[in-house]
Amino acid sequence: MILYSWNVNGLRAVVQKGFWDWLAASGADVAGLQETKIQPGHEADFGHTEAYRAVWLSATAKKGYSGVGCFYKADPLAINRELPDAGFHGEGRLLHLEYPDFHFLNVYFPNGGRGPERLDYKLRFYDAFLTHAETLRQTKPIVACGDFNTAHTALDLKNAKANEKTSGFLPVERAWLDRFIAAGYVDTFRMFVTEGGHYSWWDYRFKARDRNVGWRIDYFFVSKELVPRVRRAWIASDVYGSDHCPVGLELDV
């Protein structure tokens, strides 16, 4: 089973840059998208393709903001939206597709860079997500993908020292990823690639992508029970259209 995750930074925009061709050629069984920026009620503009069905969770808190979606070939057993805590509803951040062998969680984690209140929201969202994942994990393993909005270690961004006080690389954010991993979730890319220099997001400014001055903030994590079934994990840095690139995971199922 081939799975993809991609922060498209506006689905309407990326559609004009070859998204449908990418999806058709990707071989994805499921593609989880983040930051779709679709307004509620406009999802039908994208609908289903011949090969894929689609499901959406768009933000109601404000227009043109956040939002997640999934294109999938095989119908899941169930589809759920949002975290259980209603305090986190409205920003369109989590889609849960249940498959026979695992729970697929497509998440767009909050950005903590807009002041202390948003950083607090991000950290509380992180904790609520881990609690939710652990509850689901009691029934079957977890695949969690998306834009986590945090680079885990100094290997995961170009300029670590300069960003130690920047949200996305704050000690408190990185400590949560430590706790997530300690709880039994495995960064699948790091199963195969241990060196730095591999990124999934580049600032649009300063030709950052041309110079590969980036951050690795998009991940596929699996609960450790699934590790023996991980065949490969990769960053598709040759795919353009967004300031992020897709990341992929292949599982034996």
C-alpha span between 200 and 212 (Å, rounded): 10
User: Which residues line the annotated binding site for Mg(2+)?
Assistant: 7, 35, 147, 149, 243-244
> Which residue out of 96, 103, 152, 244 is catalytically annotated?
244
3-state SS, 6-49, equals EECCCHHHHHCCCHHHHHHHHCCCEEEEECCCCCCCCHHHCCCC
How many residues are present in the chain?
A: 253
Which three-class secondary structure state does DSSP give residue 204? coil
Crossing angle of helices 171-182 and 116-137, rounded to 10°: 0
> Which residue out of 4, 72, 132, 147 is catalytically annotated?
147
Of the candidates 1, 45, 25, the residue with the CA atom closest to the CA atom of residue 145: 1
C-alpha span between 235 and 202 (Å, rounded): 13
> Which residue out of 4, 72, 99, 108 is catalytically annotated?
108
147 noted as active-site residue: yes
User: Which residues line the annotated binding site?
Assistant: 7, 35, 147, 149, 243-244
C-alpha span between 100 and 93 (Å, rounded): 23
108 noted as active-site residue: yes
Active site residues: 108, 147, 244
